[in-house]
Amino acid sequence: MTHRASARAAVLPGAPAPGAVIDTRALTKRYPGQVIALDELTVSVAPGVTGLVGANGAGKSTLIKILLGLLVPTNGSASVLGHDCERDGEQIRSLTGYMPEHDCLQPDVTATEFVTHLGRMSGLPPTAAKERAAESLRHVGLYEERYRQIGTYSTGMKQRVKLAQALVGDPRLLLLDEPTIGLDPAGRAAMLELISRIGASFGISIVVASHLLGELEQICDHIVAIDAGKLLRADTVTSFTQASQVLVIEVEEGTGQLLDELARRGLGPKAQDRAVLVRLDGEGTYDAVRDAVADLGLPLNRMERRRHRIEELFQDAAAEPSEMTGAADAR
Amino acid sequence: MPADAARPTPASPPPVTAAASGVIHDLGYRRYDGRRLGRAQIARALCWHSLRSAFGIGRGVKAKIIPVIAFGIMCLPAIVNAVAVATSASHASIVHYDTYTSAVRVLVMTIFIAAQAPELVSRDLRSHVLPLYFSRPIRRIDYPLAKLAAFILACLIMIEIPELLLYLGTVLQAHGLSAIWAQTRGVVPGLLVGLMWAVVLAAIGLALASLSGRRAYATGTIAIFFFLTWTLARLLSHIAARVGGAGRPVPANTSGPPHGHIFVFVRPGPVPAGVHLAGLISPFTALDGVREWLGGTTPGIIADPGGYGPAYGLMVLVFLGVAVGGLIARYRKVGIA
């Protein structure tokens, strides 16, 4: 999977790129009972494939509902493809395909019937709905199976039908909510490839909401991370990945010595169990670690690159790193 | 997808050499730039789709069994009447336009609504397909209204086509223009009564069905509601008549032609209010009360509304208002994500 991120401008809060697909300004949603789902969220999403990452309850679903014009924000504003979400909900929904997280398929109809009907509901005339349903199903990789009842499908096939119904109305933007949920590793890989292909070749901007940063990194140009309704970070995947990579070093003995030596070299090491972690800042880090280990003459067992998990990312942002003080400082 | 690469779409631009453009164009994805329908047309499409599904069209054979049988039974009185008109010396109809045959209508409509209203709404609730509707260019209220319009049409088909058959069966055997005119004047109020039945019953049926995503529960709720209120109304009317001493209910066949109803009241003395008011409880009897209040002459399902006609009119409006309001409120609540 190639990262196309470097070719694009970084998405930064407060500085909407011209032609932003999604633009929110101090977007706030308070539910009754003082539950704050979105808290002054200001973010701009450029065309391309964007990951919306956040733990469960971070406000992803609320954001999607507001963007579709189905929920009125308490404060602030949001626009999709240049249309105001509160005013032009119908317009936005005719330009946007939505794939919900949960099961939303009728088991007793065929995929063709299902997607054709939803094509009609997207505003396509009867013949166009039929043609586009067949095409959408072909694009997601359902061929002869589409004449079978959806109830007989595997989870992977069902996810593809969900994607096809989002695609049927020829949207300019796809909102995909946890598209790989419930899939096995092979199914995940196939779904990610499909999303990546749609984003790259169909000219459709995509926002993929997920709690799995690793998956998003594979297919996205940009990542928007939210937590507790607040923007955590919005950046290109490249800078995200750099910021979130650590080097794990394990030596047979002399872990304490190594920690001291790495600290002396300014790498800001951190001990975790029997391993030493340093923030990965490009090729230089490998060299520095190699030199430190060699100078001390320690038996090196393991040295590998590891990504932050999503939880660690959030801890970073909250400046309460559990393992990588250095990483947080460096940001 | 490898399969895509293997099937170039005719409409896609011819593959350009990578050197010429730097981009490979054989992607197979075609934009749609044709006509797009507006909100009203989408709602109409949903209505048509739902009307078809009310009769099991576009579904398997099993889905068609109940609607077809129900429709067949509903047509029987019209057929029997046509035969009766043809064979009797007086050429008199035995089925009246304004009531059709109440017992058949009550029974068949209860079965039809209990079986088919869940088909329109419970299935969608059950499969959580509503987020897909609400994320499309319609408004939330369009969904219940389109479903309601569809089911009213379905109930109209169930009620008015037999009514028209009844008319045709009589008119085709009528002698002289005046006879045809008399029949035509008779069928119009009958059609209006049918319209009233269809609107009110469809609304109640859908509102009750939308309470549950499980078909069996929805069907049970509707059947129990209609049968219970109907039985209760008749029972109360009966009790009130006895307590008030307003004459004993006697079997219907002792007075005049059979109308399919069970009791006809012989009223030697003043009739207590309870007898007149009992019919308010059930949608069927309330509708029948309105028919009599507005001038329907054929004896009804239970006692006539007496001087309480407006109460019946109000009750029918209450049934309709609560049902439509409940249905719309129900879909305001449905979550989308």
> pLDDT tens digits for A1-40?
444 433 344 444 444 456 899 999 999 999 988 889 999 9
Within chain A, all domains assigned CATH 3.30.70.790 are found at 244-330
Do B49 and B25 have their domain in common? no
pLDDT(A287) > 80: yes
Please give the C-alpha separations between residue A7 and each of A63, A221, A254, B135, in angstroms, as whole numbers.
27, 9, 44, 32
Give the Cα separation of B152 and B44 in Å (integer).
14
Do B47 and B176 have their domain in common? yes
Q: What is the pLDDT of residue A146?
A: 94
Within chain A, all domains assigned CATH 3.40.50.300 are found at 5-240
Number of domains in chain B: 2
Asked if B39's CB is within 8 angstroms of A169's CB, the reply is no
Asked if A121's CB is within 8 angstroms of B45's CB, the reply is yes
Q: Which of A149-158, A314-323, B41-50, B292-301 has the lowest mean pLDDT?
A: A314-323
Class of domain A244-330: alpha beta
Residues from chain B that touch A194, judged by Cβ atoms under 8 A, are 1
Q: Which residue has the tokens 């939880």?
A: A311
B107: Cβ contacts below 8 Å, ≥ 6 apart? none
Asked if B41's CB is within 8 angstroms of A124's CB, the reply is no
Q: Is B134 on the interface with A (CB under 8 A)?
A: yes
Residues from chain B that touch A201, judged by Cβ atoms under 8 A, are 27, 29
Concatenated DSSP letters for B127-190? TT-HHHHHTSSS-TTHHHHHHHHHHHHHHHHHHHHHHHHHHHHHHTT--SHHHHHHHHHHHHHH
Give the Cα separation of A71 and A314 in Å (integer).
27
Q: Which of A61-65, A202-206, A323-327, B292-296 has the lowest mean pLDDT?
A: A323-327
CA nearest A51: which of A302, A200, A225, A168?
A: A225
In chain B, at which residue ranges do the beta strands (DSSP E only) sit? 249-251, 263-265
Nearest residue on chain B to A98, alpha-carbon basis:
B135
Average pLDDT over residues A83-107: 95
Do B102 and B24 have their domain in common? no
Average pLDDT over residues A55-63: 88
Q: What is the pLDDT of residue A328?
A: 35
Nearest to B132 among A91, A104, A109 (CB): A104
Nearest residue on chain B to A178, alpha-carbon basis:
B337
Give the Cα separation of B37 and A132 in Å (integer).
15
Asked if B135's CB is within 8 angstroms of A70's CB, the reply is yes
Min distance A125 CA to chain B CA atoms (Å): 7
Predicted model pTM: 0.81
Q: Chain A to chain B, count of Cβ pairs less than 8 Å apart?
A: 115
Q: What is the pLDDT of residue A254?
A: 83
- A176 pLDDT band, cuts 50/70/90, is very high
Q: Is the separation of the CB atoms in B189 and B77 below 8 Å?
A: no
Nearest to A107 among B41, B46, B127 (CB): B127
Give bridge partners of residue A175 from the DSSP assignment.
Answer: A98, A207
Nearest residue on chain B to A71, alpha-carbon basis:
B336
Q: Is the separation of the CB atoms in A292 and A284 below 8 Å?
A: no
Asked if B132's CB is within 8 angstroms of A94's CB, the reply is no
A107: Cβ contacts below 8 Å, ≥ 6 apart? A149, A150, A151, B127
Residues from chain A that touch B50, judged by Cβ atoms under 8 A, are none
Give the Cα separation of A88 and A73 in Å (integer).
14
Phi, psi of B117 (to 5 degrees): -60, -40
Q: What is the pLDDT of residue B76?
A: 96
3.40.50.300, 3.40.30.10, 1.20.1050.10, 1.20.1600.10: CATH of A5-240: 3.40.50.300
Do B65 and B28 have their domain in common? no
Do B240 and B166 have their domain in common? yes
Do B8 and B120 have their domain in common? no
Do B150 and B276 have their domain in common? yes
Give the Cα separation of B154 and B146 in Å (integer).
12
Asked if B136's CB is within 8 angstroms of A93's CB, the reply is yes
Asked if A125's CB is within 8 angstroms of B37's CB, the reply is yes
Q: What is the pLDDT of residue B5?
A: 42
Residues from chain B that touch A109, judged by Cβ atoms under 8 A, are 59
Residues from chain B that touch A4, judged by Cβ atoms under 8 A, are none
Do B279 and B324 have their domain in common? yes
Q: Which of residues 125-154 of A touch B (CB under 8 A)?
A: 125, 128, 132, 135, 138-139, 141, 143
Q: Is B13 on the interface with A (CB under 8 A)?
A: no
Do B177 and B286 have their domain in common? yes
Nearest residue on chain B to A67, alpha-carbon basis:
B135
Phi, psi of A59 (to 5 degrees): 115, 10
Asked if A170's CB is within 8 angstroms of B32's CB, the reply is yes
Asked if A139's CB is within 8 angstroms of B137's CB, the reply is no
Give the Cα separation of A89 and A83 in Å (integer).
8
Do B21 and B56 have their domain in common? no
* Cα–Cα–Cα angle for B220, B223, B226, rounded to 5 degrees: 145
Asked if A91's CB is within 8 angstroms of B137's CB, the reply is yes
- A312 pLDDT band, cuts 50/70/90, is low
Q: Is B129 on the interface with A (CB under 8 A)?
A: yes
Residues from chain A that touch B129, judged by Cβ atoms under 8 A, are 104-106
Nearest residue on chain B to A101, alpha-carbon basis:
B337
List, run by run, the mean pLDDT of 10-residue segments along chain B (337 residues). Answer: 42 43 58 94 97 92 95 96 89 88 93 97 94 95 97 98 95 89 93 97 97 95 96 90 61 45 53 84 94 87 84 96 97 77
Q: Is the separation of the CB atoms in A115 and A136 below 8 Å?
A: yes
Asked if B46's CB is within 8 angstroms of A100's CB, the reply is no
Q: Which amino acid is at A125?
A: P
Q: Is the separation of the CB atoms in A290 and A258 below 8 Å?
A: no
Q: What is the pLDDT of residue A211?
A: 87
Q: Is A211 on the interface with B (CB under 8 A)?
A: no
Two tokens, residue A175: 């909102």
Phi, psi of A224 (to 5 degrees): -115, 120
Q: Which of residues 79-108 of A touch B (CB under 8 A)?
A: 89-91, 93-94, 96, 98, 100-108
Do B15 and B125 have their domain in common? no
Do B189 and B323 have their domain in common? yes
Asked if B128's CB is within 8 angstroms of A102's CB, the reply is yes
Q: Is the separation of the CB atoms in A62 and A226 below 8 Å?
A: no
- A313 pLDDT band, cuts 50/70/90, is low
Min distance A202 CA to chain B CA atoms (Å): 6
B303: Cβ contacts below 8 Å, ≥ 6 apart? B237, B241, B265, B271, B275, B276, B278, B279
CA nearest A98: which of A188, A173, A183?
A: A173
Q: Is B4 on the interface with A (CB under 8 A)?
A: yes
Nearest to B36 among A109, A123, A197 (CB): A123
CA nearest B75: which of B160, B12, B152, B171?
A: B160
pLDDT(A212) > 70: yes
In the DSSP assignment, the letter for residue A276 is E
Two tokens, residue B152: 């009213």
Containing structural domain, residue B10: 1-34
Q: Which of residues 47-76 of A touch B (CB under 8 A)?
A: 61, 64-65, 68, 70
Two tokens, residue B71: 């429709």
Two tokens, residue B232: 């209760």
Asked if B139's CB is within 8 angstroms of A125's CB, the reply is no
Q: What is the pLDDT of residue B269?
A: 58
Which of A31, A71, A104, A140 would you mutate first to test chain B, the one with the most B CBs within 10 A?
A104
**Alpha-carbon dihedral sign for residues B252, B257, B259, B265:** negative
Chain mean pLDDT for chain A: 85
Asked if A194's CB is within 8 angstroms of B1's CB, the reply is yes
CA nearest B121: which of B146, B138, B156, B157?
A: B146
Give the Cα separation of B277 and B289 in Å (integer).
9
Q: What is the share, in percent, of chain A residues with pLDDT greater than 90?
A: 56
**Alpha-carbon dihedral sign for residues B214, B122, B109, B327:** positive
Q: Is the separation of the CB atoms in B198 and B107 below 8 Å?
A: no
Q: Is the separation of the CB atoms in A248 and A275 below 8 Å?
A: yes
A64: Cβ contacts below 8 Å, ≥ 6 apart? A98, A175, A177, A209, B337
Give the Cα separation of B80 and B84 in Å (integer).
6
CA nearest A207: which of A25, A12, A46, A49?
A: A49
Two tokens, residue A72: 């009125």
Q: Is B258 on the interface with A (CB under 8 A)?
A: no
A81: Cβ contacts below 8 Å, ≥ 6 apart? A21, A92, A95, A96, A172, A173
Q: Which residue has the tokens 């896609």?
A: B12
